[in-house]
Amino acid sequence: MGTTPKVCSILAVSMLFVSLQAQIKVGDPLPQWKEGTLDIHHINTGKGESSFFILPDGTTMLVDAGATNRPKPRVTDTKPNEKYTPGEWISRYLLYFLQDRPEKKLNYIFLTHFHDDHMGAISPGLKVSKNGGYLLSGITEVGDNIPFEKIIDRGWPDYKYPVSLEDDMMKNYVEFIKWHNENKAAEVEQFQVGTNRQFTLVNTPHKFPEFEIRNIAANGHVWTGVNNNERNLFPPLESLAPFEYPGENQLSCAFRLSYGKFDYFNGGDITTGTPGTWQDIETAVGLVAGPVDVCVANHHAYYDAMGYSFLQAVRPRVHIILSWAPSHPSPSTIARMMSSRTYPGPRDVFSTNIRESTHEGIGSRIDDMKSRQGHIVIRVNKGGENYMIQVSQVKIQ
């Protein structure tokens, strides 16, 4: 990729300060990360989800790197433009915010589940990696552009639950991780439900004992809330017909990040369902995740997610919708998220993208959102005492 990319412009279009003592003027660039600060960047490419974390001791983590190839009008244009692929834009964004770090690398890449808007679709015309025979799309492109130490997903090493995952996208991904494992000594692990020791600070963890990432759920297994214990919510596959098997969204990995008083939740694309049934993975996850300050909307706030029981369990102060389609969010879901009847207290909703057709369909509730376009950055001050949200248009050359 050559030299470190430059920022053409940073325009702060919205800010929310939560118990924040210091203030930053709208329009000012985000100050550089410093030790003790937690930064979470929700990157807007218009083609899927991607979140970048700089943890309090400088440990870095990328969660997903989507690049869907679904046809218009079902998808947003590439942001900021079509000059580069989504994977290239994500790479350039990361390199800009890594430029002052001693090493421009990722300690962790974490894939919540195996869908193109989270990992990268395979389509004609993609570049072939110079490293191996795999194609560059989404997570494979970012992983080729930026060195990484460990990659974690729900399926390693066999990728056979609930059935063998052997489509072109999965074959390409597996070829990518095997090459980096064999040639770059990158570690590969399966997401371990219940533990708080898989994603740890790698530099000076002793300085930040109040920091934790707890693995909440994956593959139907859900943390019990006690020690590292977990339970399997899903029935044995032999009791189900193949058409009844859990879908990829239900199998998503979910985690809760805690830093002192601050809590953050990301559940990939977990979905709701009939209460009391195993299909309602979302409620079981929400009950053990508990109240959080910031919640990334499950399944992009689509109609089948962010159910009442989940929302009443996590009751976030801030919702973040990582959206790329006109169906994100759905009218019924945004109504639940915004209503004080669902749970009491103030809340603010931010989105990386809101299509005009979505605005027309939902109406005034969209006007009540804090942002409808841009990268959404959370900055948590030392110890989680307070945090700030900045929405910006960051253009990387």
pLDDT at 260: 97
Question: By C-alpha distance, which of 254, 389, 374 is closest to 318?
Answer: 389
Q: Any idea where the domains of the chain sit in the sequence?
A: 7-20+34-396
At 169-183, the pLDDT tens digits run 999 999 999 999 999
Q: Supply the DSSP string of 3-39, one letter for each residue.
A: SPPPEEEEEEEEEEEES-SS---TTPPPPPP-TT-EE
Residue 68 near residue 75 (C-beta atoms within 8 A):
yes
Share of the chain above pLDDT 70, in %: 92
Q: Which of the 8 DSSP states describes residue 337?
A: H
Asked whether residue 10 carries a pLDDT value surpassing 80, the answer given is: no
pLDDT level of residue 395 (50, 70, 90 thresholds): low
Question: By C-alpha distance, which of 174, 166, 162, 266 is closest to 220?
Answer: 162
At 338-389, the pLDDT tens digits run 999 999 999 999 999 999 889 988 988 888 999 899 999 999 999 898 999 9
At 321-348, the pLDDT tens digits run 999 999 999 999 999 999 999 999 999 9
d(CA 318, CA 293): 6
Share of the chain above pLDDT 90, in %: 82
Asked whether residue 26 carries a pLDDT value surpassing 90, the answer given is: no
pLDDT at 4: 47
Residue 215 near residue 255 (C-beta atoms within 8 A):
yes
Q: Which of the 8 DSSP states describes residue 207?
A: G
pLDDT level of residue 29 (50, 70, 90 thresholds): confident
Architecture of domain 7-20+34-396: 4-Layer Sandwich (3.60)
The whole-chain average pLDDT of the chain stands at 92
Asked whether residue 396 carries a pLDDT value surpassing 80, the answer given is: no
Residue 391 near residue 320 (C-beta atoms within 8 A):
no
pLDDT at 312: 98
pLDDT level of residue 291 (50, 70, 90 thresholds): very high
